[in-house]
Chain A
Amino acid sequence: MSNKKVFKLTVNGEEQEFLAEPRELLIHTLRERLGKTGPHIGCETSHCGACTVTLNGKSVKSCTVFVAQADGAEITTIEGLGNPDNLHVLQESFKEHHGLQCGFCTPGMITRASKLLEENPNPTEQEVRFGMAGNICRCTGYQNIVKSILAAAAEMNAAKEAAE
């Protein structure tokens, strides 16, 4: 089957150009073609959110996006949120508040949470719970995830205030 086409993506700031079948799912492109194995596959049916990435500024479940639909897009995965020398506040906060156990949902959770806090920098607990309802965690029972996100929001707001 060779109906391959050339696609372009900008992933974590790096431009990528490659040949792929249009039907290839974005999660497979990211994980298998581009080596971004942070986002995971938990269902392939848009239910679990393990595959969450940011695509053109929106949280997207990359298991149900064809690479053809993403052509030309800007994508951020967990690998693009922070690095060992400069972690994202959420990455620190999840560790600090025990917001993860097996870690399989964590990249999707943190990627989604980073977007949520952009959309709503000062969420209530209920808003966090609602805003994160597209991401399933089987281990933590969410209590510490919610705590991690609220703590990160507070810290980010405090830093913003200090800077102003």
Chain B
Amino acid sequence: MNKELSREERTDALGGMGCKRKRVEDARFTQGKGNYVDDIKLPGMLHGDFVRSPYAHARVVSINTDAAMALDGVIAVLTAADLAPLGLHWMPTLAGDKQMVLADGKVLFQGQEVAFVVAKDRYIAADAVELVEVEYEELPVLTDPFAALESDVVLREDLDPTADGAHGPRKHHNHIFTWEVGEKDATEQVLDEADVVAEEMVYYHRTHPCPLETCGCVASMDKVNGKLTLHGTFQAPHAIRTVVSLISGIEEHNIRVISPDIGGGFGNKVGAYPGYVCSVVASIVTGVPVKWVEDRMENLMTTAFARDYWMKGKISATKEGKITGLWCHTTADHGGFDACADPTKFPAGFMNICTGSYDIPTAYLAVDGVYTNKAPGGVSYRCSFRVTEAAYFIERMIEVLAIELNMDAAELRRINFIRKDQFPYQSALGWEYDSGDYHTAWDKALKAVDYDGLRAEQAQRVEDFKAGKTRKLMGIGLTHFTEIVGAGPVKNCDILGLGMFDSCEIRIHPTGSAIARLGTISQGQGHATTFAQILATEIGLPADSITIEEGDTDTAPYGLGTYGSRSTPVAGAATAMAGRKIRAKAQMIAAYLLEVHDDDVEFDVDRFVVKGAPEKFKTMKEIAFAAYNQAIPGIEPGLEAVSYYDPPNMTYPFGAYICVMDIDVDTGETDIRRFYALDDCGTRINPMIIEGQVHGGLTEALAVALGQEIAYDDMGNVKTGTLMDFFLPTAWEVPNYETDHTVTPSPHHPIGAKGVGESPHVGGVPCFSNAVNDAFRAFGLRHTHMPHDHWRIWKTANDLGLHG
């Protein structure tokens, strides 16, 4: 009986926060019983497929669909002309711009959607795509954002060049916005007067989140009841419902959006894509369900690129290495439409976290968004909004400054870290960092890898190389990153006017089990496992007795979804707060049952006990039953709660990463000998899942740093449109990672958790890149651009004269 169990045993029995609970999702996934979008098969379902532009910039002179329509099994071919009467040939983007659903007179990037074929099966649809005849007239192509800002060629003829854009004045017909933060004049003055200034152009190349499952949906219009059901790979189902309602005119209560199991997201599945709109229209027109699932090439070429930031930086310091100022001007290539997924007031996301982990008194950041003939997107690929760009920028600038100062880069970081006693810390670019202890983390990391020993080994290697004894150099990559996640406070964070709170609703069943529904959606993060752990600790019922449900807008409370590591900081907080409401009511019930005053009972793991008389108690299970079977004066029956959590601040996870890499100067091959990752994500909910997230994020970082890119030629052709050319590392290329942690809880979060899913990516990219750059430091290299594939590394070695 419970009474005989010790407090520890009762705690363990809950499977609450801090334990390595095995995942409840895994039974279905390991047996092939997941339910992903492409697994959905509805009666009479048709298949949609796109005719796409082979050109990056062209006028669409004519579209002839006769031959396609004549093919047996083709039901419809939609073009912009068909969507125009409904006002659906364009759609609003998340960034306040608009985007063509189907080509309206011209195309602006290769792969742009031109016509939508609807047919009885996917083979007939693909055949019909080939039969649609489109006549194009080629236009000059702009793939370089700097050239685009000088060019007479007007990309967006639909926009009035003199009118303001969504984020203020536009300077040129291909310019989208200028965003400025910090103090320009003061920063320039600091730079002018500084002992030392390091300057560098840091390009963060265009890449793509490329989850293993591509994007897709099944739209099903029930004309009898007037209800639209939309299954899709959505990271933000409620936001999609609102967007669909706004653009289609269907009332929101008549739309049900369901995100089933999602095969990875990483930012790719935040946005709204033409395929969704076309599927909905096609289902409304035909009256039967329509499925659209993009193939890998369509995924890489059209939905949601990431990065493409040209970051020009200047950083100043005293002779001793104390940083005095940071200046950054970024030219942001947004492609043909501005479809970035950022909170409305932040057109460059949280790029202003670019002062990083350092106490930099004066700073200035300006970002110019530019249209080019590339795909739209600009999503946060496994990071909070543009935080990877910011972390990469500052961590490269620190390295360049170390070279300028002829200082050790680890020491330069140490003397500039924000000190523990400075938190909450007000950054020069406007953020209030909640908590941190950077020095402790840094020292622990350096000690773990024997940093001094590594540097000695590296120096020896350089000697050996010079003496002709080896052809391999050694790089030591350092990174100390600070993330900003958990968007965010409704006062300054919204998407399309929707405040970025999140939510949790809990129902306790009479026999002491529960269901909790959230506004987020897991894409592999294991929410069904970890949110139940939070609740188990908060409400004292076993995690195994708590079902977590997400992703169905008819049942889940409104929330802004899962991206930017916001689930734990925001929905996790909502979960804890809803749990506390349950507990507050349970306390009153317990007091009634124990015949004492409310204040005379206290919560103890899985029960309420009478203060000072622990043998008198009611377990949460007993309380749950009482809530349903006793008439308690002044208390409503039932035990349910809902919480909408508006976070008071962001959370600021941080970490210290060190990578040791050998580089073959003659082949450009890299061998990652060691990777040590220390993460501080505040309170740790499930260490097993945290570790898994770190492994995955580091591997995506390795990919981006060492080879993954969306590259274009001058004609705007995508050169990396298949997995043959677009680098996804396999088990063979990936090292084993060493993980470690410190714990600095967030002071404003109900359970102190900060979020972790994206930290390893944010910190990993600069760490791998710094290792490559560091290997060549002794030979005069300051900076070389990512991705560091074998060819580029070979070229770097060659340019430095290392090939003899």
Query: What residues make up the interface of A, taking CB atoms closer than 8 Å to B?
Result: 1, 21, 23-24, 28, 31-32, 36-45, 47-48, 50, 77-79, 82-84, 87, 90-91, 94-96, 98, 100-107, 110, 128-130, 132-146
B742 at the interface (CB under 8 A from A): no
Distance in angstroms between the alpha carbons of A106 and B261 in the assembled complex? 13
Of B26, B38, B212, B523, the most chain A CB neighbours within 10 A belong to B212
Closest to B211 in A: A138
Check if B244 is an interface residue, CB within 8 A of chain A: no
Would A44 and B295 count as touching, CB distance under 8 A? yes
Partner-binding segment picked from B28-36, B503-511, B531-539, B582-590: B28-36
* CA A23 to CA B122, docked complex, whole Å: 12
B731 within 8 A of A: yes
B residues 23-73 in Cβ contact with A at 8 Å: 23, 25-34, 36, 38-39, 41, 72
Q: Which 3 A-B pairs have the closest CB atoms?
A: A38-B32, A103-B29, A102-B524
| Residue from A106, A129, A135, A144 in contact with B29 in the complex, judged by beta carbons closer than 8 Å | A106
B695 engages A82 (CB within 8 Å): no
Q: Are A130 and B732 in contact (CB under 8 A)?
A: yes
A132 to B189, CA, bound (A): 57
Which of B33, B296, B524 lies in contact with A101, CB distance below 8 A? B524
Measured in the bound complex, the distance between the Cα atoms of B124 and A21 in whole Å is: 11
Chain A nearest Cβ from B295, distance in angstroms: 6
| B516 interface residue (CB < 8 Å to A) | no
- Given A79-B32, A106-B29, A41 and B38 touching (CB < 8 A)? yes
Contact surface of B with A, Cβ cutoff 8 Å: 22-23, 25-34, 36, 38-39, 41, 72, 122-124, 127, 210-214, 261-264, 266, 295-296, 523-526, 688-689, 691-693, 695-700, 722-724, 728, 730-732, 734, 736-737
Contact B695–A84 (Cβ < 8 Å): no
> What DSSP secondary structure best describes chain B's contact surface?
loop
Contact status A98-B29, CB under 8 Å? no
The residue in chain B whose Cβ has the minimal distance to the Cβ of A2 is B72
Give the docked Cα–Cα distance between A146 and B731 (Å).
Answer: 8
Please state if A136 and B730 are interface contacts (CB–CB under 8 Å).
yes
CB contact under 8 A between A145 and B266, given known A1-B72, A102-B211: no
User: Would you call A95 and B31 a contact (CB within 8 A)?
Assistant: no
B296 pairs with A94, CB closer than 8 A: no
On chain A, the residues within 8 Å of B296 by CB distance are: 42-45, 48
Kindly list chain A residues whose C-beta atoms are within 8 Å of the C-beta of B524.
101-104, 139
Given A37-B32, A78-B32, 5 further pairs, Cβ under 8 A? A42-B213, A91-B31, A95-B22, A101-B692, A139-B692
Interface centre among A48, A50, A82, A134 (most CB of B within 10 A): A48
Which residue in chain B gives the minimum CB-CB distance to A42? B212
Q: Which of B34, B127, B295 contacts A103 (CB 8 A)?
A: B34
Set of chain B residues within 8 Å of A101, measured between Cβ atoms: 264, 524-526, 692-693, 696
- In contact, A98 and B731 (Cβ under 8 angstroms): no
**Known pairs A23-B123, A95-B22; A141 contacts B737 (CB<8 A):** yes
Cα–Cα, bound, A102→B757 (Å): 13
A98 to B731, CA, bound (A): 16
Residues of B within 8 A of A84 (CB): 27, 31
Contact of A98 among B32, B33, B692 (CB under 8 A): B692
Known A-B contacts A23-B123, A94-B26, A138-B211; the reply to A103 vs B263 at CB < 8 A is yes
Q: Give bound CA distance, A85 to B386, whole Å.
A: 47
- Counting chain B CB atoms within 10 Å of each CB, which of A38, A40, A48, A139 scores highest? A139
Chain A residues lying within 8 Å of B23, measured Cβ to Cβ, are 95, 98
| Residue contact A107 to B728, C-beta cutoff 8 Å | no
Task: Give complex CA distance A28, B35 in Å.
Answer: 16
Q: Which residue of A lies closest to B261 (CB)?
A: A103
B703, closest chain A residue (CB): A138
Q: Can you identify 18 A-B contacts, CB atoms within 8 angstroms?
A: A1-B127, A37-B39, A38-B33, A47-B722, A47-B724, A78-B32, A83-B31, A87-B31, A91-B31, A95-B26, A95-B30, A101-B693, A105-B212, A129-B734, A136-B728, A139-B692, A141-B697, A142-B734
Tell me, in angstroms, the Cα distance from A44 to B298 when the chains sit together. 12
Which residues of the partner chain A approach B695 to less than 8 Å between Cβ atoms? Answer: 140-144
Residue of B nearest to A88 (CB): B30
Contact A129 B31, beta carbon cutoff 8 Å: no
Is there an interface contact between B41 and A40, defined as CB atoms closer than 8 Å? no
Collect the chain B residues with CB atoms within 8 Å of residue A106's CB. 29-30, 34
What total count of A-B pairs have CB within 8 Å?
179
Residue of B at shortest CB range from A28?
Answer: B122
Q: Which residues of A contact B210 (CB under 8 A)?
A: 138
Task: Point out the residues of chain A lying under 8 angstroms from B736, CB to CB.
Answer: 143
Rounded to whole Å, the gap between the CB of B233 and the closest CB of chain A is 11
Please give, as numbers and ranges, the residues of chain A lying within 8 Å of B724 by CB-CB distance.
45, 47
Residues of A within 8 A of B699 (CB): 140-142
Q: B723 touches which one: A87, A96, A136, A139 (CB < 8 A)?
A: A136
Q: Give the complex CA separation of A85 and B39 in angstroms.
A: 24
Whether A94 lies near B30 (C-beta < 8 A) is yes
Contacts of B691 in A (CB 8 A): 98
Q: How far is the CB of A116 from chain B (nearest CB, A)?
A: 11
Partner of A43, one of B22, B32, B693, B723: B723
Q: A91-B31, A102-B213, A102-B523 are in contact. Are A142 and B731 (CB under 8 A)?
A: yes
- What distance in Å separates the Cβ of B284 from its nearest Cβ neighbour in chain A? 24
Least CB separation from A25: chain B residue: B123
Contact indicator A43/B722 (Cβ below 8 Å): yes
Which chain B residues lie closer than 8 Å to A50 at the CB level? 212
CB <8 Å contact, A32 and B723: no
Given contacts A1-B72, A103-B261, contact A144 B212 (CB under 8 A): no
Please measure, in the bound complex, the distance between the C-alpha atom of A79 and the C-alpha atom of B262, giving whole angstroms: 20
Please indicate the chain A residues that have their CB under 8 angstroms from the CB of B523 in the complex. Answer: 102
- Chain B nearest Cβ from A40, distance in angstroms: 7
**A122 CB to nearest B CB, Å:** 18
Query: Are B212 and A137 in contact, with the CB atoms below 8 A?
Result: yes
Q: Using Cβ atoms and an 8 Å threshold, which residues of chain A touch B263?
A: 40, 42, 102-104
For A139, the chain B residues whose CB sits under 8 A away are 212, 264, 524, 692, 696
Distance, CA A74 to CA B576, complexed state (A):
51
How far does the Cβ of B299 sit from chain A's closest Cβ, in whole Å?
Answer: 9
| B723 x A45 contact (CB < 8 A) | yes
* A128 and chain B: residue at smallest CB distance: B731
Contacts of A40 in B (CB 8 A): 36, 38, 212-213, 263
- B31: which A residues are within 8 A, CB to CB? 38, 78-79, 82-84, 87, 91
- Closest chain A residue, CB of each to CB of B739: A143
Contact of B22 among A32, A96, A103, A134 (CB under 8 A): A96
- Return chain B residues, CB-CB under 8 Å to A31: 38-39
Measured CB to CB, the closest approach of chain A to B608, in angstroms, equals: 35
B217 to chain A, nearest CB (A): 15
Q: A103, A128, A133: which contacts B26 (Cβ < 8 A)?
A: A103
Give Cα A128 to B211, complex, Å.
23
- Selected from B30, B127, B723, the residue in CB contact (under 8 A) with A48 is B723
User: Given the known A-B contacts A103-B26, A136-B728, are A144 and B734 also in contact in the complex, defined by CB atoms under 8 Å?
Assistant: no
Cα separation A56 to B137 with both chains bound (whole Å):
51
Closest Cβ neighbor of B122 among chain A residues: A28
Contact B264 A36 (CB under 8 A): no
B32 touches A143 (CB 8 A): no
Whether the pair A141, B32 counts as a contact (CB closer than 8 A) is: no
Contact (A104, B38) CB under 8 Å given A110-B30, A142-B734: no
**Bound-state Cα–Cα, A136 to B525, Å:** 18
CB of A77, distance to nearest CB on chain B (Å): 7
Q: In the docked arrangement, what's the CA distance between A63 and B395, Å?
A: 42
| B728 with A103: CB separation less than 8 A | no
Is B34's CB under 8 angstroms from A140's CB? no
Among A107, A134, A141, contact of B698 (Cβ-Cβ < 8 Å): A141
B634 to chain A, nearest CB (A): 47
Within the complex, what minimum Cβ distance (angstroms) separates A113 from chain B?
Answer: 11
Q: How far is the CB of B30 from chain A (nearest CB, A)?
A: 4
Report the bound CA distance from A146 to B768 in whole Å: 22
Give Cα distance in the complex from A41 to B722, angstroms.
14
Residues of chain A within 8 A of B526, CB atoms compared: 101
Contact between chains at A102 and B692 (CB < 8 Å): no
Residues of A within 8 A of B33 (CB): 38
